[in-house]
């Protein structure tokens, strides 16, 4: 049975429900990120001397990825460790806020968020979640490894904030999977679990 837990997200105190074991990489400053990643890698990889290079390379890769994420405006960096106890699941889920494209503003101003998504993100498919409409882009990359075809699934969800002020982009990267559909459905469920904070009453 898959365990789940609710995780708070920055910067608007949103929450999301995640299956399995995930960790949130702090993005406050490079020193904090590096210290966190070193502790995480030591715990996951082990402390044996023969693993020193693997630890070093993994730390460098994760710190570099976090730095690139900050550079494009990511405010929440979630990394999956296991989908079930003892079943590794090295997925990443990044969140950033962006403005509506100019093409979407008329529909947004009219309060029609579905039409705004269709106008602003024409190459994405539309869906409906608990919080309202969203758009999704999907990319699938095939790689031959040892005679076996492995897939990397990349998903981008465009989620309007309830007040229509801007959109939340959620980018998922799931490498080395045998089939795409179960994981695409899993991330649909994860995105559907996003809860936005209730509006505060006026003073």
Q: Residue 202 falls within a domain, yes or no?
A: no
Residues 85, 103 within the same domain? no
Residues 73, 137 within the same domain? no
Q: Residue 94 falls within a domain, yes or no?
A: no
CB 180 within 8 A of CB 153: yes
Report pLDDT digits (tens) over 87-121: 778 899 999 999 999 999 999 999 999 999 999 99
Q: What is the pLDDT of residue 109?
A: 95
Residues 76, 139 within the same domain? no
pTM of the model: 0.89
Instruction: Assign 136 a pLDDT band (cuts: 50, 70, 90).
Output: very high
On the question of pLDDT at 65 being above 50, the answer is yes
CA neighbor of 163 nearest in space, from 125, 118, 116: 116
Structural domain of 40: 1-89
Q: What is the pLDDT of residue 155?
A: 97
Q: Which of 89, 112, 130 is the last residue of a domain?
A: 89
Residues 125, 168 within the same domain? yes
Residues 24, 66 within the same domain? yes
Q: Residue 198 falls within a domain, yes or no?
A: no
Report pLDDT digits (tens) over 72-87: 999 999 999 888 777 7
C-alpha 129, offset from chain centre: 16
Total domains in the fold of the chain: 2
Q: Which two tokens stand for residue 146?
A: 């040892």
């Amino acid at each position: 049975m898959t365990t789940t837990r609710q995780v708070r997200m920055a910067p608007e105190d949103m929450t999301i429900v995640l299956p399995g074991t995930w960790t949130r990489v702090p993005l406050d400053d490079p020193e904090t990120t590096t210290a966190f990643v070193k502790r995480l890698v030591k715990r996951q990889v082990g402390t044996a001397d023969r693993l020193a290079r693997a630890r070093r390379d993994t730390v460098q890769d994760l710190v570099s990825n976090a730095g690139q994420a900050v550079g494009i405006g990511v405010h929440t960096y979630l990394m999956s460790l296991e989908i079930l106890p003892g079943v590794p699941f090295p997925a990443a889920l990044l969140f950033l806020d962006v403005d509506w494209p100019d093409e979407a503003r008329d529909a947004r101003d009219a309060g029609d968020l579905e039409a705004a998504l269709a106008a602003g993100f024409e190459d994405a498919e539309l869906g409906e979640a608990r919080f309202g409409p969203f758009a999704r882009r999907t990319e699938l990359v095939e790689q031959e490894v040892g005679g076996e075809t492995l897939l990397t699934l990349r998903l981008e969800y465009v989620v309007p904030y309830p007040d229509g002020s801007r959109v939340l982009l959620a980018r998922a990267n799931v490498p080395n999977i045998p089939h795409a559909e179960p994981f695409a459905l899993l991330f649909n469920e994860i995105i559907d679990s996003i809860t936005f904070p209730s509006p505060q009453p006026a003073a």
